[in-house]
Amino acid sequence: MSDSAAVAAPNLPPLYKGLEPLTPERHGKLKLQNPGFGFAAEMHAVPLAAEEFAAACRSMPIVFTAQAPHVPLALCGLQPGHNHFIGADGKWAETAYVPAYLRRYPFFLVRVSPESQQLVLCVDPQAPHVSATEGDDMFTADGKPSAMLDRAFTFTKAVEEAMLRTRAMADGLAEMGLLKASVVQFQQGDKPMRVDGFFAVDRAALAALSAEQLVTLRDRGWLEAIYAHLMSVGGMGDLARDVTLPA
């Protein structure tokens, strides 16, 4: 971590309302508490790393954004503004996977400048995790990062690196012509439902790949992610029970 305050202002990622470089001068007396997941109750789609696909596919559909760079998303609901997995008490559904993107919050890594490789751990000061009275200290009495903050930096860095690898995978799948506009249709009760506006791996395009291309997918570790993604899309209907259809 760095105590530099000169951090390039990023476009805020989804969920974050602000980012401040963590410094003992500004945040030395602050603590971090566990507020549950109510902060993500209105987030129906969460960015997902490819390394999470195998675990996430058993709980939620995984799709890709229609706009390049085709970010993978874990669908947590079919209605914007509603997360199917978060109850009124702010707790996450007990057996469902929790995306690392949410477990990383309220921290985020920002480069000191676009040209620099130096990363600064930042925090969303408006997050409900941040408290002046409750939770674990962010800094020690002598202004050093606490053990909790060191763990947060390590985890946040791992998530960022995984997201960069995922970006490379999405770009590679797009270059191979595998990502295409997709539609899922199913029945909810006696009424048909249609979910579109996303990209997915096209099964026909996947089947048409050469043996050499399939080996490339395997060697890059992408083949497992593809199959987990395709399997997950079949769970789209499980989210539909939260959707209110017009009479």
Report the Cα 134 to chain-centroid distance in Å.
27
**Once rounded to an integer, what is the mean pLDDT over residues 197-216?**
96
pLDDT digits (tens, 9 = 90+) for 6-30: 444 457 999 999 999 999 999 999 9
Taking alpha carbons only, the member of 128, 110, 122, 164 closest to residue 34 is 128
- The pair of three-digit structure tokens given for residue 139, joined into one six-digit string: 């800094």
Q: What is the pLDDT of residue 243?
A: 55
φ, ψ dihedrals at 194, nearest 5°: -135, 125
Does residue 43 contact residue 17 with C-beta atoms inside 8 Å? no
**Distance between CA atoms of residues 158 and 13, nearest Å:** 17
Average pLDDT for the chain: 90
pLDDT tier at 245 (50, 70, 90 boundaries)?
Answer: very low
